[in-house]
A and B are shown apart, each in its own frame.
Chain A
Amino acid sequence: AQSVTQPDARVTVSEGASLQLRCKYSYSATPYLFWYVQYPRQGLQLLLKYYSGDPVVQGVNSFEAEFSKSNSSFHLQKASVHWSDSAVYFCALSMHYNQGKLIFGQGTKLSIKP
């Protein structure tokens, strides 16, 4: 069955430091992959998406992610985090045949130290 795993439930980094949030997926074909962010008491906002082509995708607020078919991964990265990046981040997968329905990972709560 298809699945998404975010192995880190919580990540804490210092402001200005670099960030990587990990995401692994399980799907036999090439998936469509997304990263969403959820701020407290809000819905989900799309950071970036991968459909095909260049495995490195750029998103909003200087986030980027790299798709790796060999590693079944889609890790999110940012060169320098800001306190406002504190939120919960979700990796999600969609398959070409399922009308866009998303399968979500468990989320990673990001905390930024001053």
Chain B
Amino acid sequence: NSKVIQTPRYLVKGQGQKAKMRCIPEKGHPVVFWYQQNKNNEFKFLINFQNQEVLQQIDMTEKRFSAECPSNSPCSLEIQSSEAGDSALYLCASSLGGTGQLYFGEGSKLTVL
């Protein structure tokens, strides 16, 4: 059973609407990752954090995607203005850092109508 908790499991949005997903990493894991898995099973790394600081992120030049991992609160991934192409499974994972294995949540499946 996954100890990385993602909510909501499913969300349905209209185009242009905001979509927000949350993730509680496994206890004691300082590193958090967000991946996007599309219907073709292609994974796209979005961003990772160590504690509250961004380690790496894709070029979010569109600025529609934002993420944060505040202390003592769940991490979150937000899409400001959803587009049909954003429909995907958004996976959160956490790790102890370094080359430690990633533990994945069950994902938040976003459908943009």
Binding site for B on A (CB under 8 A): 32, 34, 36, 41-46, 49, 51, 88, 90, 94, 96, 98-102, 104, 106-107
Give chain A residues whose Cβ lies under 8 Å from the Cβ of B95: 100
A43 touches B106 (CB 8 A): yes
Q: How far is the CA of A88 from the CA of B40 in the complex (A)?
A: 12
A43-B91, A43-B106, A43-B107 known; A32+B99 contact, CB < 8 A: yes
A96 touches B91 (CB 8 A): no
A88-B41, A101-B45 known; A43+B101 contact, CB < 8 A: no
Q: How far is the CA of A49 from the CA of B43 in the complex (A)?
A: 19
A107 touches B41 (CB 8 A): yes
B99 touches A44 (CB 8 A): no
- Pairs A–B under 8 Å by Cβ, sample size 22: A32-B99, A41-B109, A42-B106, A43-B104, A45-B2, A88-B41, A96-B99, A99-B48, A99-B50, A99-B55, A99-B56, A100-B33, A100-B48, A100-B95, A100-B100, A101-B33, A102-B35, A102-B43, A102-B45, A104-B42, A106-B40, A107-B41
A100 touches B31 (CB 8 A): yes
A43-B2, A106-B42 known; A99+B104 contact, CB < 8 A: no
What mask results when residues 39 to 77 of chain B are scored 1 for a CB within 8 Å of chain A, else 0? 011110100101000011000000000000000000000
Count of chain B residues with a beta carbon within 8 Å of a chain A beta carbon? 30
Q: How far is the CA of A62 from the CA of B28 in the complex (A)?
A: 29
Give chain B residues whose Cβ lies under 8 Å from the Cβ of A106: 40-42
